A and B are shown apart, each in its own frame.
Chain A
Amino acid sequence: MTVIVKKTTQLIAGMVFLYGIYVIIHGHLTPGGGFAGGVVMAGSFILLILAFGSDFMHLTKEESGSTLYENLAILVVVFLSVSGLLYGARIFFLNWLPKGTAGELVSAGMLPLYNIFVGIEVASSILTIFLALVIFKEETLE
C-alpha cells in the first residue's frame, strides 16, 4: 500500500477503535451495544491488516490468539448468565445487580457487563473470520 493509505490508516484506526468502545459502553443508553460496537472495533483491526499487510505465519499466530479471546469472552458471557442461576432465585439470565438510576452510565445492572463481553466476543470473532478467509486464500495461492 502507498504511504498515503498507511498514514491515513494510522490516524484513523485509533479513533475507530475508540468509537467502538464508546458504542459498547453506552450500549444500554443509546442504540448500538455489543454487536455494533464489536463490529466497529474489528473494523479498526481489519483496516490495519489491510493497509500494512502481514506475512502468512504472522496471520496464523494472530488467528489463534483471536480464537482464544473469542472463546474466553463467550465463556464469560455464559458465566454471567449462569450467575443468575446460582444467585438465590435460581433464574437463568437474572439481572441481579442493583439497577441504579435510568439514564446514567453506571446503571441497568448486568447489561453493561453483557455488552462489554459481547463486544469483545464479536470483535474477536469477526477478526477470526477475516483472518481465516485470508489464510484460506493464501493457502490456495501456494
Chain B
Amino acid sequence: MIVYWLCFILFLVGLYGVITKRNLIKIAISLSIMEFSTFLFFTLIGFREGGVAPIVDPADPVKTYVDPLPQAMVLTAIVIGLATTAMLMSVIIRLYRKYGTFDIREIKNLKG
C-alpha cells in the first residue's frame, strides 16, 4: 500500500510545482512530474506478486503474468505526454522570444 501513497506524494509534488513556481520551464517540469506519477500509478495497478513479463512461452504456459493492459495504456499515454510536452516547450520558446522573460508574472497581456 505504501507505494501507492508514495505515488500520490509524487503527484502532489508536481501539483505544488505547477501552483507555486513562477518560471515557465519549471511549470513544464512539474507537469511532467505529475504525468509520470500517473504512469507509475498505472504500472502499479497492473503489478502481480511474483508475476513475469506477459509473453506467452509455448513450452511453459502456466505462470503468473503481470497485467499487460495497464502497460499498453501507459505506453500510449507516454506518447501523448511526449506530444504535449513538445508542444508546451515550443510554446515556451516562442513566449520567451516575444516577452524576453520566463517569469509568468510579467506575461499578462490578457486579463478580465
Complex Cα distance, B68 from A31, in Å, reads 11
A142 CB to closest chain B CB (Å) equals 10
Given known contacts A35-B75, A35-B79, is B90 in contact with A136 (CB within 8 Å)? Answer: yes
Complex Cα distance, B92 from A136, in Å, reads 10
B95 CB to closest chain A CB (Å) equals 11
B96:A102 contact, CB within 8 angstroms:
no
B90:A140 contact, CB within 8 angstroms:
no
B110 CB to closest chain A CB (Å) equals 22
Q: Provide the main secondary structure of the chain B interface.
A: helix
Q: Mark B58-95, 1 if CB is under 8 A from A, else 0.
A: 10000000000000000100110010001001100110
Given known contacts A35-B79, A140-B97, is B56 in contact with A102 (CB within 8 Å)? Answer: yes
A30:B86 contact, CB within 8 angstroms:
no
| Chain A residues with a Cβ closer than 8 Å to the other chain, count | 15
Q: Mark A128-142, 1 if CB is under 8 A from B, else 0.
A: 010011001101100
- CB-CB nearest in chain B for A139: B97
**Interchain Cβ contacts within 8 Å, total number:** 28
Chain A residues near B93: list those with CB within 8 A.
133, 136-137, 140
B89:A133 contact, CB within 8 angstroms:
yes
- CB-CB nearest in chain A for B57: A103
Q: Which of A30, A35, A133, A137 has a CB less than 8 Å from the CB of B55?
A: A30
Chain A residues near B89: list those with CB within 8 A.
133
Q: Which 4 A-B pairs have the closest CB atoms?
A: A136-B93, A129-B86, A140-B97, A102-B58
11 contacts between A and B (CB under 8 A): A29-B55, A35-B79, A102-B56, A129-B82, A132-B90, A133-B86, A136-B93, A136-B94, A139-B97, A140-B93, A140-B96
